[in-house]
């Protein structure tokens, strides 16, 4: 399986996801600003992977800080990383976690603070892989044997420290001996499905068919699809789910055709401080992502364009939310509160 991100003595190394699948190139971020830039440009993307990158970015920032007024520098580092992308709450959760560790080291020599922050960032990375494996174990039973699973965007190894959330469920179902294949929506405009999901599943030898986003309804009606599994960027207290734009349409079509719609996500993606998905900030990205394909214009110059990167699927379309702590079912207000326990709200910082 591809290594999405790792901590090294030289800095934070990540596979450049803007260049996949044509080239497998690794970039090294040597400063926290380079990590922030990589998140912004989607060299690394996917909610859990963004969280891991942010944790490593904070550690890198403090490691390279000159030690003068470290509190102010820590604020600057965290502020810059937090300003990269607004929707995936894992980013803010990870920064909060690093800030808490920093706060707990008050009065310690700077070398100890640095060592502790690096250790915490590496721990966030290790935990994320274990969490995804647990999500996979908890979700594998839900995948019907002998059917096709439809997924949207990339919620795989590339979107996490490894293994994946939605693709983790698929990997675990395959490992349990189920005979399944996958339909991957191409996921315009950034093509995470075509470029990333198709690539990583093909490398794993999991039978995968690529479809364009507007074919999803046709196949959901065909009787071939056994369930839909997607990831999430933020889940509100009532179970509304923000995920890659286009997820909502898939969810409505799944319900219309009586197909279960599952969301696979770690508890760190829950933001129980938000009552509903209406409060989730939706990132608006550069319109050039819509008007061009790999630099080639596909629309007339000057045409007005919208480019929301995410949409919100109302909870009534969600059959269940698969987490590392178990499967939450409606009413989500109760099941998510129970699963998250006290103190987990996705992370204000
Ligand atoms: O814009 P992206 O590529 O970061 O969006 C990613 C998604 O929407 C994923 O489905 C989500 O982050 C879950 S990843 C396990």
Domain that holds residue 181: 139-339
- Same domain assignment for residues 169 and 273: yes
User: Is 78 a pocket residue for ligand 1 (Cβ < 6 Å)?
Assistant: no
Contacts of 145 (CB under 8 A, 6+ apart): 178, 179, 180
Model pLDDT, residue 211: 98
Model pLDDT, residue 343: 46
DSSP structure class, residue 144: P
Model pLDDT, residue 19: 97
- Indicate which residue of 128, 185, 233, 240 is catalytic: 233
CATH number (domain holding residue 331): 3.40.50.10470
344 assigned to some structural domain: no
- Same domain assignment for residues 165 and 281: yes
Q: How far apart are CA 163 and CA 152, in angstroms?
A: 16
- Same domain assignment for residues 115 and 18: yes
The closest-lying atom of ligand 1 relative to the alpha carbon of residue 90 is 12
Find, among 324, 289, 333, 327, the residue nearest to 308 by Cα: 289
Would you say 140 and 177 are in contact if contact means Cβ atoms under 8 Å apart? no
- Same domain assignment for residues 123 and 153: no
Model pLDDT, residue 67: 81
Contacts of 93 (CB under 8 A, 6+ apart): 51, 268, 346, 347
Model pLDDT, residue 160: 98
Model pLDDT, residue 294: 87
Per-residue tens of pLDDT for the chain, all 349 residues: 789 999 999 999 999 999 999 999 999 999 999 999 999 999 999 999 999 999 999 999 999 999 889 999 999 999 999 999 999 999 999 999 999 999 999 999 999 999 999 999 999 999 999 999 999 999 999 999 999 999 999 999 999 999 999 999 999 999 999 999 999 999 999 999 999 999 999 999 999 999 999 999 999 999 999 999 999 999 999 999 999 999 999 999 999 999 999 999 999 999 999 999 999 999 999 999 999 998 999 999 999 999 999 999 999 999 999 999 999 999 999 999 999 995 444 444 4
Domain count, the chain: 2
The closest-lying atom of ligand 1 relative to the alpha carbon of residue 243 is 8
Contacts of 317 (CB under 8 A, 6+ apart): 248, 251, 252, 254, 255, 261
At 226, list the tokens. 């056994």
Mutate to test the pocket of ligand 1, among 46, 165, 248 (most ligand atoms within 8 A of CB): 46
Q: How far is CA 341 from CA 18, 88, 129, 335, in A?
A: 37, 20, 21, 10
Model pLDDT, residue 347: 45
List the beta bridge partners of residue 234. 242
- Same domain assignment for residues 288 and 332: yes
Q: How far is CA 209 from CA 120, 168, 183, 186, 307, in A?
A: 39, 18, 5, 10, 26
């Amino acid at each position: 399986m591809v290594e999405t991100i790792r901590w090294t003595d030289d800095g934070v190394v990540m596979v450049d996801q803007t260049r996949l699948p044509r080239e497998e190139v690794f970039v090294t971020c040597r400063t926290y600003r380079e990590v922030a830039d990589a998140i912004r440009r989607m060299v690394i993307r996917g909610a859990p992977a963004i969280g891991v990158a942010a944790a490593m970015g904070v550690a890198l920032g403090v490691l390279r800080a000159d030690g003068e007024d470290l509190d102010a520098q820590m604020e600057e580092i965290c502020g810059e990383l937090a300003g990269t992308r607004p929707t995936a709450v894992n980013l803010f959760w990870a920064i909060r976690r690093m800030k808490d560790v920093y706060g707990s080291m008050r009065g310690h020599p700077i070398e100890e603070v640095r060592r502790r922050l690096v250790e915490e960032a590496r721990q966030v990375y290790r935990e994320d892989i274990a969490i995804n494996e647990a999500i996979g174990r908890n979700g594998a039973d839900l995948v019907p044997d002998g059917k096709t699973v439809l997924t949207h965007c990339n919620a795989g190894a590339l979107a996490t420290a490894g293994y994946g959330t939605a693709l983790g469920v698929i990997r675990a179902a395959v490992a349990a001996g189920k005979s399944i294949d996958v339909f991957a929506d191409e996921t315009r405009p950034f093509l995470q499905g075509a470029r990333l999901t198709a690539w990583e599943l093909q490398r794993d030898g999991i039978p995968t068919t690529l479809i364009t986003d507007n074919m999803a309804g046709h196949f959901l009606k065909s009787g071939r699809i056994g369930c839909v599994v997607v990831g999430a960027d933020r889940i509100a207290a009532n179970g509304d789910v923000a995920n890659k734009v286009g997820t909502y349409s898939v969810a409505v079509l799944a319900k219309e055709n009586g197909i279960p719609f599952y969301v696979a996500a770690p508890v760190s993606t829950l933001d129980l401080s938000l009552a509903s998905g209406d409060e989730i900030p939706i990132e608006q990205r550069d319109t050039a992502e819509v008007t061009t394909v790999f630099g080639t214009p596909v629309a007339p110059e000057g045409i007005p364009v919208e480019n929301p990167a995410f949409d919100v699927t109302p909870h009534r379309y969600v059959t269940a939310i698969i987490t590392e702590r178990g499967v939450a079912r409606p009413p989500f207000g109760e099941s998510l509160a129970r699963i998250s326990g006290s103190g987990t709200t996705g992370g204000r910082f």
